[in-house]
């Protein structure tokens, strides 16, 4: 877009979609001035009616503007309405109204073009300042660039930069030069080993790597690792690691074994009583749902740690919606539960390759412990003694996912599964989806853990499809 030569004084003209996307956007521009054109106020007024999310957001923005303008006089409105901030200098809010606005030729009269015209006129009037249009509308940004108007996307809500991948949750120190472990040779640390009951604890002192965080896997190999541990405690010059259980060969979770270090870490997180929130990312076929269901049934049916399993996901279609679905809540959710049924079919297969999932008694037994719920009806609930699985978490907004995570009550574990490369919700990206926000917000929480799985034993067709597309 247009290269911006930013001056000391900056005026940010906000488009309607920025306020709809983030109602708190007014407070995100530090000490600079925020400009709301009259066209934006008119669009907010058109969106305020109804019960949809966009209507609720528009009313929230209107209430915020009303609070800011409640106790100001005409002189303050002309000079700029103060925007209070918790820290640092306060900003200013300006309401832009031109009674004799001239349209830009040869553009037609539309809200976007009026916002462009208002921005252009403000630039002419404020030659002492940098006037920047902020919008999430790609077409409007292109038109602004064609007219030479400085324009930016709204980036404050982005959890990761475009060049960054989602947090891995894993740090591997491979063997080097035939040494037994690249971890201990590559780090200058004093190590003390302690055994507590069945746990092996490593106390480290020295220069702790800056990329380490709580709930992170530290390993010396991606596959058959000789050392795999989770970061339990972390400080600038000390850390505590706990060895993981090896689920590759001997131990298993409901008959499920790990194939590599990341899958072994995933099973450890799922079975760990100290971890209340697990986020698992990875492309299709990496075993996210399979391992999660195995851990859920192990802890619900065998060890009786939980009383029930609640499975939910965003009912978002890949293409056109098929329309009205008859039946109960669970029957309406059935078309979106294909992943659940496929994995149950695999989990219940015996050595002869036959599955008992189609058996009526098996379905009745598991159905008494498994609830399939639509996320739209979860508001206000408190889930106690529950293993809550949120599938396709990348299709939720941060606000929606927050509503689901806060349903957790006593003795509840939440597992969020997703792949930021497969987002079907309009206006969400890998940087702004709920999955990315959740991973980032709980990065340093001692009772949370995250892992990004890699492709393991996937079909040749699936791998070829990803490479070609």
Judged by DSSP in three states, 289 sits in helix
| 281, β-bridge pairs | 418, 452
pLDDT attached to residue 373: 86
| Residue bearing tokens 């305020």 | 48
Judged by DSSP in three states, 127 sits in coil
Q: Angle at which helices 111-125 and 38-47 pack, to 10 degrees?
A: 150
Under 8 Å between Cβ of 243 and 228 = yes
Q: How far apart are CA 288 and CA 283, in angstroms?
A: 9
Closest CA to 187 of 162, 168, 204: 204
Q: How far apart are CA 103 and CA 97, in angstroms?
A: 14
Judged by DSSP in three states, 319 sits in coil
CATH of domain 10-152: 3.40.50.1010
In angstroms, the Cα distances linking 466 to 146, 287, 295, 424, 463 are 36, 17, 28, 17, 5
Judged by DSSP in three states, 342 sits in helix
pLDDT attached to residue 70: 87
Residues with Cβ within 8 Å of residue 413, at least 6 apart in sequence: 275, 276, 277, 278, 299, 306, 386, 387, 388
pLDDT tens for each residue of 380-411: 899 999 999 999 999 998 989 999 999 999 99
Tokens in use for 403? 């509503």
Judged by DSSP in three states, 306 sits in coil
The dihedrals phi and psi of 190, each to the nearest 5 degrees, come to: -95, 125
The residues of the chain that CATH labels 3.40.50.300 are 170-468
| Residue bearing tokens 């970061």 | 231
pLDDT in tens, the chain (469 residues): 555 666 778 899 999 999 988 888 888 888 889 999 999 999 999 998 887 778 888 999 999 999 998 888 888 888 889 888 767 778 899 998 888 888 887 788 899 999 999 999 999 998 888 999 999 999 999 999 988 899 999 987 666 544 455 788 999 888 655 554 567 776 778 899 999 888 999 999 998 998 899 999 999 888 878 899 999 999 989 999 999 999 988 789 988 999 999 999 999 999 999 999 999 998 888 899 999 999 999 999 899 999 999 999 887 765 556 666 677 766 677 676 767 777 877 777 766 666 666 666 666 667 678 888 888 888 889 999 999 999 999 999 898 999 999 999 999 999 999 998 888 887 788 888 899 999 999 999 999 999 999 866 554 445 555 544 4
**Top-level CATH class of 170-468?**
alpha beta
Tokens in use for 325? 């679905």
Residues with Cβ within 8 Å of residue 217, at least 6 apart in sequence: 169, 170, 171, 228, 229, 230, 244, 261, 262, 265, 451
pLDDT tens for each residue of 419-460: 988 888 877 888 888 999 999 999 999 999 999 998 665 544
The residues of the chain that CATH labels 3.40.50.1010 are 10-152
Cis? peptide before 436, omega within 30° of 0: no
| Residue bearing tokens 């930069």 | 161
pLDDT attached to residue 2: 54
Eight-class DSSP state of 394: G
């Amino acid at each position: 877009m247009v290269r911006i030569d930013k001056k000391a004084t900056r005026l940010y003209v906000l488009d309607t979609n920025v306020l709809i996307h983030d109602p708190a956007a007014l407070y995100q521009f530090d000490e600079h001035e925020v400009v709301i054109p009259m066209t934006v106020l008119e669009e907010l007024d058109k969106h305020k009616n109804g019960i949809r999310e966009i209507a609720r957001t528009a009313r929230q923005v209107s209430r915020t503007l009303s609070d800011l303008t409640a106790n100001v006089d005409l002189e303050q409105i002309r000079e700029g309405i103060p925007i209070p901030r918790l820290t640092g200098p306060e900003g200013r809010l300006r309401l832009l109204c031109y009674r004799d606005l001239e349209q830009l030729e040869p553009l037609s009269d539309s809200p976007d073009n009026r916002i462009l015209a208002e921005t252009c006129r403000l630039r002419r009037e404020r030659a002492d300042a940098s006037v920047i249009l902020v919008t999430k509308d790609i077409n409007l940004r292109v038109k602004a660039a064609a007219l030479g108007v400085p324009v930016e996307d709204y980036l404050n809500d982005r959890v990761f930069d475009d060049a960054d991948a989602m947090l891995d949750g894993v740090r591997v120190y491979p063997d080097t030069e035939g040494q037994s472990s690249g971890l201990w040779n590559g780090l200058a640390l004093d190590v003390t080993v302690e055994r507590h009951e069945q746990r092996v604890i490593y106390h480290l002192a020295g220069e702790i790597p800056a990329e380490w965080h709580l709930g992170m896997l530290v390993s010396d190999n991606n596959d058959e690792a000789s050392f795999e541990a989770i970061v339990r405690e972390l400080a600038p010059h000390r850390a505590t690691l706990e060895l993981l259980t090896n689920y590759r060969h001997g131990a298993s979770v409901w008959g499920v074994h790990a194939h590599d270090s990341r899958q072994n870490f995933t099973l450890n997180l799922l079975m760990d009583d100290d971890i209340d929130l697990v986020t698992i990312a990875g492309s299709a076929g990496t075993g996210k749902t399979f391992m999660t269901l195995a851990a859920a049934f192990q802890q619900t049916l065998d060890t009786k740690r939980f009383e029930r399993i609640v499975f939910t996901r965003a009912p978002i279609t890949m293409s056109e919606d098929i329309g009205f679905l008859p039946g109960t809540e669970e029957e309406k959710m059935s078309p979106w539960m294909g992943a659940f049924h496929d994995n149950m079919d695999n989990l219940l297969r015996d050595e002869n390759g036959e599955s008992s999932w189609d058996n009526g008694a098996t379905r009745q037994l598991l159905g008494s412990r498994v609830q399939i719920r639509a996320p739209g009806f979860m508001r206000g609930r408190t889930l106690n003694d529950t293993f809550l699985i949120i599938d396709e978490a990348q299709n939720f907004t941060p606000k929606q996912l927050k509503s689901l995570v806060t349903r957790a009550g006593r003795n509840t574990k939440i597992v969020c599964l997703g792949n930021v490369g497969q987002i079907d919700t309009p206006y969400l990206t890998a940087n702004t989806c709920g999955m990315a926000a959740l991973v980032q917000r709980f990065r340093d929480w001692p009772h949370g853990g995250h892992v990004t799985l890699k492709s393991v034993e996937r079909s040749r067709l699936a791998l070829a499809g990803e490479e070609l597309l």
